[in-house]
Structure 1
């Protein structure tokens, strides 16, 4: 007679799951690149705790994502969340989850990783971001094993180091983003435009693809400022940025070139499509204001970033000279 395997008990969700998932997204950990510092921490954890495996991971909505791993798993791999021990670790952000004998623990006795002999024991500390448990640092071994107090303290210290490293990495990323963002409109600034244009041009050259650049200038903006005040002018620029974003694809870039001038980068976008986008932007102006737009398109082979900017800028001035409120393609 075949034995009926009892399914593992359902894993409860934290009462603060919505807030926790928001913290997971803000952390920027998911899909990040391999990190040598985290790799070093998991190697040290396995050595100090005498276990076959050690991991730093993120517990997302449906799966566990390996940030760093030694033994079982590799960076970037995922495991269904409800099959993992770490999804229990995030239930209590204030203490570790200790499982000296997984086969004797009712939470895990029927877990596939226990039944196949992969995990016999586990110890994990939650990793916090914005006060929420976003993942864990853990060690586990095929054999039952109870960590000593010294080993638990070592693992706690390493988990704290991992948590602080992830927080520092997020702070650096946010500062870098701020350095590439226009403070008034929230669009890309000149530095980000230059960097992105050079990168997209190189990628288009490798693929033999097209690239389009739009230079847009608000018509008679000085008169608008003189009439309504500089605060109203700032609000107008912010409104334009919000409106124009809705017309762009995820891979496009909207940036403030300077003053009342915007630049739009359209990767993989040939001339005719770029003109359609430009007309949509021109038509979506708040408060009955108008703008003029120059469009430069072409293949990237042999081109320099300044070539596209220069052609689009000349077309913009042609639009101004022709009476404003129009789109002009570069020759």
Structure 2
């Protein structure tokens, strides 16, 4: 395990900014697990796209794996078996089982015994494993199995809090009609993106979109069709910019997109791509043909999101007046 590990501290749990869960409580739970089993190591391991990450490690000198260690997903370790089968696993002596012959935890680090249970997110997808490991052969009684199952239930109850909070946060910053961020969500994320751009010397551009004669669309075709137009705009913007760009609906028919630029001329290219996407969608959906005025501005080192919105809005209004 040690030879295949890389250190990385980026985990979902450690990035949780609101302390909905107590990592100290999780640490105490893992410590208690190792103590009750009289084992040299206990862990809460998170399954991520990068591999199996030790999120919490029992605080013992005998534990060789600190929190943050990641094992690549293809390595034959005990936790991988649990995630793949979604079943608990007890191996009392791995040396006599040939299926663990290439397990580095056994043949590089000297572990013999492993007991682990799967931990699931509320949606049913695997979070990872809760496990205890020993350097000697073990013979755990049924009550020990019941104990580790009970402790993992405590961990899963905390995960349900995280999931519920994430859902509430998403609802609070998302416009339900267009599917993009609402004004509040856009402002918060855009300010973060601007600060990051200042640190990394990245160039940003802002596009400000407004539907031409939107009131006439509602008056002539009904508000249901107007809602369909708003939904289409959200879809077109999402498909036309990078996933890392920030999109928002900041008014009835007003949308904005803060995009990262590789070069100054890219902002015009993004604008033309969005305009072309609207033309293409008009041919595929049964909606009245509508046009969108798009104002643009490039961010500079002194820009705030409110300043950018003001400049791009004025540019959009000027273009709208040219069409009148």
TM-score range, shorter chain: 0.7 to 0.9
- Between 1:78-87 and 1:305-314, the stretch displaced more is 78-87
The secondary structure found in structure 2 opposite 1:216 is strand
Q: Deviations over 1:272-314 (max 9, x none)?
A: 2112211221233234310101111132x23322111111111
The equivalent residue for 1:97 is 89
Answer whether contact 1:98 1:123 (CA < 8 A) is retained: yes
Q: How many residues align?
A: 293
SS in structure 1 of the partner of residue 173 of structure 2 = coil
* Alpha-carbon distance in 2 for matches of 1:162, 1:320: 55
**How far is 1:141 from its partner?**
1.2
- Cα distance in 2 for residues equivalent to 1:133 and 1:175: 21
1:215-267, Cα deviation, whole Å (9 max, x unpaired): 11000111111111111111111112212222101211121111011011113
Q: Structure 2 CA distance, aligned partners of 1:291 and 1:278?
A: 11
- Which residue of the partner structure matches residue 318 of structure 2? 318
For residues 138-177 of structure 1, what are the structure 2 equivalents within 5 Å? 138-177=131-170
| TM-score w.r.t. length of structure 1 | 0.79
Per-residue CA distance 1:20-65 (angstroms, 9 max, x = gap):
xxxxxxxxxx941437243333222222222111122244678433
Residue pair 1:48, 1:154 contacting (<8 A) in 2 also: no
How far did 1:125 drift?
1.2
**Does residue 261 of structure 2 align to residue 276 of structure 1?**
no
What secondary structure sits across from 1:179 in the alignment? Answer: helix
Q: Report if the CA contact (8 A) 1:58-1:67 is conserved.
A: yes
Residues 293, 61 of structure 1: alpha-carbon distance in 2 compared, 3 angstrom cutoff? closer
Question: Does 2:186 match 1:193?
Answer: yes
| Range with greater deviation from structure 2 (212-221 or 80-89) | 80-89
Which stretches in structure 1 are left out of the alignment for 5+ residues? 1-29, 325-331
Work out which of the residue numbers 120, 124, 142 in structure 1 matches 2:116: 124
Q: Work out whether residues 212 and 265 of structure 1, in 8 Å CA contact, stay in contact via their aligned partners in 2.
A: yes
Aligned to 2:105: 113
CA displacement 1:79-138 (0-9 Å, x = unmatched): 444511123334654x63222222233443563432335211111112233345553211
C-alpha contact 2:76 2:102 (8 A) present in aligned 1: no
Cα distance between partner residues in 2 of 1:191 and 1:137: 38
- Please give the TM-score of this superposition, normalised by the length of structure 2: 0.81
What CA RMSD, in Å, does the superposition of the two structures yield over aligned residues?
2.5
Partner residue, 2:308: 308
Aligned residue among 16, 32, 38 for 2:12: 32
